[in-house]
Amino acid sequence: MNAGTIVCSVSCLICLLFALIFTVLKGKAAILISGFNTLPKQERDLYDKKSMSRDQRNTFLIWSVILGIGAVLSYFVSKYMAIAAFAVWLLVFFKDVHLDEEKAFGKYRK
């Protein structure tokens, strides 16, 4: 087993663990979302926390699928498939990163 397979597998399991946390905690897990936890309590109440948690869970599941496919392909096809999987993961990751608070949480406002 090569290093790419191991790294992709461990990353996939971590993403699955976070998806499980967001599934179990539902709306309470919204506090774990980066940037949302820094908002004042009164402002946090203006957002739909269940939708935020559900979308974050789905994001973690997508990430785990990407990394899981990378792990399988790097094991069976080529060790360079792990690099390709991480490249795809980075593209998806940075697509969802928002530095502006309104862009990040605007669609969840009640």
| pLDDT of amino acid 99 | 79
The DSSP secondary-structure symbol of 109 reads B
The mean pLDDT of 43-62, rounded to a whole number, is 94
Residue 56 class from Cβ within 10 Å (0-12 exposed, 13-18 middle, 19+ buried)? buried
Helix locations, 1-110, DSSP H? 3-25, 41-44, 49-76, 81-96, 101-105
pLDDT tens profile 72-101: 999 999 999 999 999 999 999 999 888 778
Residue whose tokens read 């990040």 = 104
For 98, the token pair is: 């928002």
Task: Please report the sign of the dihedral spanned by the C-alpha atoms of residue 78, residue 71, residue 68, residue 72.
Answer: positive
| pLDDT of amino acid 7 | 95
pLDDT tens profile 4-51: 999 999 999 999 999 999 999 999 999 999 888 888 999 989 999 999
Q: Which residue has the higher pLDDT, 96 or 60?
A: 60
